[in-house]
Amino acid sequence: MTPRETEPDSGGGHANRPIGNSTIVAYPTQAAAVLPITLKFEEVVYKVKRGAKGWWPSSSSPAEKTILDGITGVVCPGELLAMLGPSGSGKTTLLTALGGRLRGKLAGKITYNGHPFTGVVKRRTGFVAQDDVLYPHLTVSETLTFTALLRLPGSLSRTDKAHQAQLVISEMGLNRVAHSMIGGARGVRGVSGGERKRVSIGLELLVDPSLLLLDEPTSGLDSTTAARIVATLRRLAVEKGRTVVTTIHQPSSRLYRMFDKLVLLSEGNAIYYGPAAAAVDYFASVGFPAPIDGVNPADFLLDLANGRFHGPLAHIGLHI
Ligand SMILES: Nc1ncnc2c1ncn2[C@@H]1O[C@H](COP(=O)(O)OP(=O)(O)OP(=O)(O)O)[C@@H](O)[C@H]1O
Ligand SMILES: [Mg+2]
């Protein structure tokens, strides 16, 4: 939790609007002019030096390992892009690159409204990492309130900031555990892993980012909670014009249907980029039909990314 520079607030209120059986929070910070961000990435290549300091001599392998191999795509305000792929396929690396946090040999072009990563974009970007970094001895409510006090603009009163934290607690379904310790450190028992993840997402929602990047926000959650989180992300995109990019691990078909766009990664290559709803038909059109109607598209796509498929071209890979 680091204090973050915030935009000046124009002093609007923060009414809540009921949406279905949940609530969309109108954040005080949002009263400032919203900066819609179009994120474009073109031919992104990322390489790392291989085994320079490793214990095993690697004279036979090339000096560099390609982690990302020419990934291209665009995400507009109002869209939710999911990155899917097997473990080690490069999802976290690509997300980190898009968040302007990747150091090292990064080639290609990543632009935000046509410009490179700047301080303004950084302030407008929320990044939820795969591993949660939270203070184990604070309660959920304390964690969000302290962050609200640090991150929200000085033009808001302490009461408004605390209220803001409470709104996020409600939105993330954390009321029941608001006064439980986060826990997680050795010997400190606290909230569940899923609840911890929701706190991490809530911390980024406090400042209502224009660009929200999340690394596996649903891992370790039951399918209902996972769907609720992705529905929240989708609402942030569609109703509030945010640009949302998330990596995802094993989404259910219900969850998959909420994605607008999909990048399917396999060993650092994008084997599909386009509308999520068109991915299965695309693979069928190039000779890789889904095995049966009604199969979870994500399972089918992950099988493909792992080189497991059937259909007319099955002889070049493993049979399911
Ligand atoms: N700095 C680095 N040095 C060496 N290898 C790296 C580095 N960063 C990433 N890798 C390798 O790149 C590959 C992709 O890693 P990445 O964390 O992006 O995968 P992922 O798709 O997020 O996997 P997971 O689903 O397990 O989180 C992995 O094989 C990883 O070991
Ligand atoms: Mg990862």
Which amino acid is residue 55, in one-letter code?
Answer: W
Tokens of residue 15, six digits: 């009414």
46 CA to centre of own chain = 20
214: CA distance to ligand 2 center in Å?
10
Structural contact between residues 41 and 68, judged by C-beta atoms closer than 8 angstroms? no
Contacts of 53 (CB under 8 A, 6+ apart): none
Residue nearest to atom 27 of ligand 1 (CA): 87
Q: Whose CA is nearest to atom 12 of ligand 1?
A: 67
C-alpha–C-alpha distance, residues 248 and 262, integer Å: 10
> Which residue segments constitute the domains of the chain, with CATH numbers given?
36-53+66-124+211-320 (3.40.50.300), 133-208 (no CATH)
CB atoms within 10 A of CB 225: 17
Q: What ligand has the least distance to the C-alpha of 129? A: 2
Q: What integer pLDDT is reported at residue 31 of this predicted model?
A: 42
Q: Is 63 in the pocket of ligand 1 (CB under 6 A)?
A: no
| Residue nearest atom 16 in ligand 1 by C-alpha distance | 90
DSSP, collapsed to helix, strand or coil, labels residue 278 as helix
Phi and psi based region of residue 220 (left: phi greater than 0; alpha: psi -120 to 50; beta: remaining): left
Query: Cβ–Cβ contacts within 10 Å for residue 207, how many?
Result: 23
Residue 104 class from Cβ within 10 Å (0-12 exposed, 13-18 middle, 19+ buried)? exposed
- 215 alpha carbon, closest ligand: 2
Q: 188 exposed, middle or buried (CB, 10 Å; 0-12, 13-18, 19+)?
A: exposed
Tell me whether strands 261-266 and 105-112 are parallel, antiparallel or unpaired.
unpaired
pLDDT of residue 66: 93
Q: What is the Å distance from ligand 2's center to 105 Cα?
A: 19
First to last CA, the chain: 45
How far away, in angstroms, is 233 Cα from ligand 1 center? 25
Choosing from 49, 71, 89, 271 the residue with most ligand 1 atoms within 8 A of its CB, the one to mutate for a pocket test is 89
- For ligand 2, an ion, list residues with CB under 5 A: 91-92
Q: Where are the alpha helices (DSSP H) in 40-130?
A: 91-98, 119-123
Residue 57's pLDDT is 54
Q: What is the pLDDT of residue 56?
A: 55
> Is any ligand 1 atom within 6 A of the Cβ of residue 52?
no
Cβ(85) – ligand 1 distance below 6 Å: yes
Q: What is the pLDDT along the chain (320 residues), one digit of tens a residue?
A: 433 333 333 333 333 333 333 444 445 444 444 689 999 999 999 999 876 555 555 555 668 899 999 999 999 999 999 999 999 999 999 999 999 999 888 999 999 999 999 998 998 999 999 887 899 999 999 999 999 999 998 999 999 999 999 999 988 889 999 999 999 877 778 998 878 888 999 999 898 899 999 999 988 788 888 888 899 899 889 988 999 999 998 899 999 999 999 999 999 999 999 999 999 999 999 988 888 777 899 999 999 999 876 655 555 544 44
Compute and round to an integer the Cα radius of gyration of the chain: 21
Ligand 1 within 6 A of CB of 87: yes
Using the mean position of ligand 1's atoms as its centre, give its distance from the Cα of residue 288 in Å.
27
Residue whose structure tokens are 């609720």: 228
Report the SS3 class of residue 317.
Answer: coil
Burial of 268 (0-12, 13-18, 19+ CB in 10 A): buried
* Residue 90 beta carbon below 6 angstroms from any ligand 1 atom: yes
How many Å lie between the centroid of ligand 2 and the Cα of residue 221? 16
Supply the DSSP symbol for 296.
-
What is the value of pTM for the model shown? Answer: 0.83
